[in-house]
A and B are shown apart, each in its own frame.
Chain A
Amino acid sequence: MLRKLENYHRPEKLDDALRLLDECGAGARILAGGTAVMAGKNNEIKTLIDIKNTGLDKVSKRKNGVEAGAAVTIAGLLESPEIKKYCGGLVYEAAYHIASTPLRNMITLGGNITQVFPWSDLPAALLACGAELTVAGPGGVRKLLYADAVKKHPTQMIAKNEIVTGVNFPELPGYVGKFTKFSKTSFDFALLDACVAVKIKNGMFEDARFAVSAAGTLPQLLNESAALLKGVKTTDSKAVSNAVQKAVSETVFTGDKRVSVEYKKQILPVLIERLIDAAIKQNEGADAK
């Protein structure tokens, strides 16, 4: 338990946090909510740099979507009217299913999506909506598409002296997003998380995105299967079924002591099909208004 910890800093400015991170080197670690540091391997940490006072705890509407700071807690996301409205509630639903009430008051957006813990339910939602990370480092600020950040483990895609400062959820006019977590209890880790975001016009899928997490070791965007829905009528159950089956063959699965690959393969098509149905219904409801 933090056996080698020697220093704790709580800078008021992001620049100071970046400078400390750069200066303190390999033994330094960013602290925001605390759960990633306390639950993870922490015996090599010498310096904690607490970013909770650096102003990264806001959610705001921007021209090109919704911007959320990396230190916004899951509770903060759930309390944001912008997140509740965004993409038919896609990100809200994913946040709603994370862990427990005390933990939702602690876990931050940045920690949940970069550490990709078993209790991280947000990654699939970020993939489905095409979210982009803002990453600050000594050389300035860069943007990193979340789909690129999870090609390896995100901690390998972000340098040791960089800090993820926020997430941009891009404007997705006309899209409806649905999320589901399959788990034994509300508080349990997901056995499977699935997301669908679709744009439907005149009874036809104009665009579709599928994403899963907890299926394998990293969250996955299922581009090939989702592409099969484009141009398909929402009533064409055979074409929908084809896309759903393709999602199973496209997904890389790993099993563990809690759930086997075979079980996940049975569950995934059911979840995706249900999500598509729910998205169609929600879209019909929106059209009727």
Chain B
Amino acid sequence: MNKIKTVEIKLKINNEDKIFSVKINDRLVDALRANGYKGIKKGCYQGSCGACTVLINGRPMNSCMIPAAAADGFEITTIEGLGESDNLHPLQESILETGGVQCGYCTPGFLISSYALLKNNPDPTMDDIKRATDGNLCRCTGYVKKLEAVERAAKKMRGEK
């Protein structure tokens, strides 16, 4: 079997410049995880479940559907870029407060999609929240608590109680 070629890609991840050496046939999700961004989850590998969602140039996308080689020059935000364990983002705080996490596998992707929504729309309706997170499947919670968490985070970020 032929040796798989490696290529160098330059990325800005969570505002830090990075250079990765990746196999030419890697998916972006695998390249990111191999380089320490384990918050991103591998799920369906078909763009269906949303576990691998990251922000690319400000927009949520499925990192399993992007060849790593094609990501050269991308600005990426992962769940690690939202908050620290001792300084949570309002979305992370809110999803804990509402009980919107059970197994937690979908949580990083769900929060990234929600983060993208709130950046552009600080006062979303419930329909806006559902539409923004329609690509993030959750098999545990039944969605209600997760969606409430986004509403709650939006209020916090607007300075409301």
Q: Please pick, from A6, A38, A50, the residue contacting B47 in the complex, using a CB distance under 8 A.
A: A38
Q: Please pick, from A7, A102, A187, the residue contacting B53 in the complex, using a CB distance under 8 A.
A: A102
Q: B100 contacts the other chain (Cβ, under 8 Å)?
A: no
A100 and B134 in contact (CB under 8 A), knowing A1-B27, A6-B5, A106-B61?
Answer: yes
Q: A122 contacts the other chain (Cβ, under 8 Å)?
A: no
Inter-chain CA distance A48–B50, complex, in Å, is: 25
Q: A248 contacts the other chain (Cβ, under 8 Å)?
A: no
Q: B59 contacts the other chain (Cβ, under 8 Å)?
A: yes
Complex contact A48–B70 (CB within 8 A): yes
Q: B77 contacts the other chain (Cβ, under 8 Å)?
A: no
Question: How many residues does chain B have at the interface if contact means C-beta atoms less than 8 Å apart?
Answer: 28
Q: B66 contacts the other chain (Cβ, under 8 Å)?
A: yes
Interchain nearest-CB distance for B92 vs A (Å)? 20
Q: B82 contacts the other chain (Cβ, under 8 Å)?
A: no
Complex contact B70–A2 (CB within 8 A): no
Q: B135 contacts the other chain (Cβ, under 8 Å)?
A: yes
> Per-residue 0/1 for A12-39: is the Cβ within 8 Å of any B Cβ (1 yes, 0 no)?
0000000000000000000100110111
Q: B69 contacts the other chain (Cβ, under 8 Å)?
A: yes
Q: Please pick, from B50, B67, B113, the residue contacting A31 in the complex, using a CB distance under 8 A.
A: B67
Complex contact B25–A39 (CB within 8 A): no
Q: B91 contacts the other chain (Cβ, under 8 Å)?
A: no
Q: A87 contacts the other chain (Cβ, under 8 Å)?
A: no
Chain A residue nearest in CB terms to B65: A38
> Per-residue 0/1 for A39-64: is the Cβ within 8 Å of any B Cβ (1 yes, 0 no)?
10000000010101000000000000
A101 and B65 in contact (CB under 8 A), knowing A6-B24, A34-B70?
Answer: no
Q: Please pick, from B70, B132, B133, the residue contacting A10 in the complex, using a CB distance under 8 A.
A: B70
| Among B24, B46, B70, residue most surrounded by chain A Cβ atoms (within 10 Å) | B70
Complex contact A102–B47 (CB within 8 A): yes
Inter-chain CA distance A101–B136, complex, in Å, is: 9
Q: B62 contacts the other chain (Cβ, under 8 Å)?
A: yes
Q: B131 contacts the other chain (Cβ, under 8 Å)?
A: yes
Q: B138 contacts the other chain (Cβ, under 8 Å)?
A: no
Q: A237 contacts the other chain (Cβ, under 8 Å)?
A: no
Question: How many residues does chain A have at the interface if contact means C-beta atoms less than 8 Å apart?
Answer: 27
A100 CB contacts on chain B under 8 angstroms: 47, 50, 134-136
A89-108 CB contacts (< 8 Å) to partner B: 99-103, 105-106
Complex contact B25–A5 (CB within 8 A): yes
Chain B residue nearest in CB terms to A104: B135
B38-69 CB contacts (< 8 Å) to partner A: 46-47, 50, 53, 56, 59-62, 64-67, 69
Chain A residue nearest in CB terms to B5: A6
B93 CB contacts on chain A under 8 angstroms: none
Inter-chain CA distance A99–B62, complex, in Å, is: 12
A170-188 CB contacts (< 8 Å) to partner B: 186-187
Complex contact B25–A2 (CB within 8 A): yes
Q: Please pick, from B64, B72, B131, B133, the residue contacting A38 in the complex, using a CB distance under 8 A.
A: B64
Inter-chain CA distance A235–B7, complex, in Å, is: 65
B81-129 CB contacts (< 8 Å) to partner A: 113
Interchain nearest-CB distance for B111 vs A (Å)? 13
B24 CB contacts on chain A under 8 angstroms: 2, 5-8
Complex contact B67–A101 (CB within 8 A): no
Q: A3 contacts the other chain (Cβ, under 8 Å)?
A: yes
Q: A75 contacts the other chain (Cβ, under 8 Å)?
A: yes
A38 CB contacts on chain B under 8 angstroms: 27, 47, 64-67
Inter-chain CA distance A216–B88, complex, in Å, is: 50
Residue pairs across A and B with Cβ atoms less than 8 A apart, 7 shown, are A2-B25, A6-B24, A7-B24, A8-B70, A35-B47, A105-B61, A106-B47
User: Which A residues are within 8 Å of any B CB, using their own CB?
Assistant: 1-3, 5-8, 10, 31, 34-35, 37-39, 48, 50, 52, 75, 99-103, 105-106, 186-187
Known: A39-B65, A48-B70, A106-B47. 7 other contacts (CB 8 A): A10-B70, A10-B72, A37-B67, A75-B59, A101-B134, A102-B62, A105-B60
8 closest A-B pairs by CB: A100-B135, A2-B25, A8-B69, A105-B59, A102-B135, A38-B65, A5-B25, A102-B60
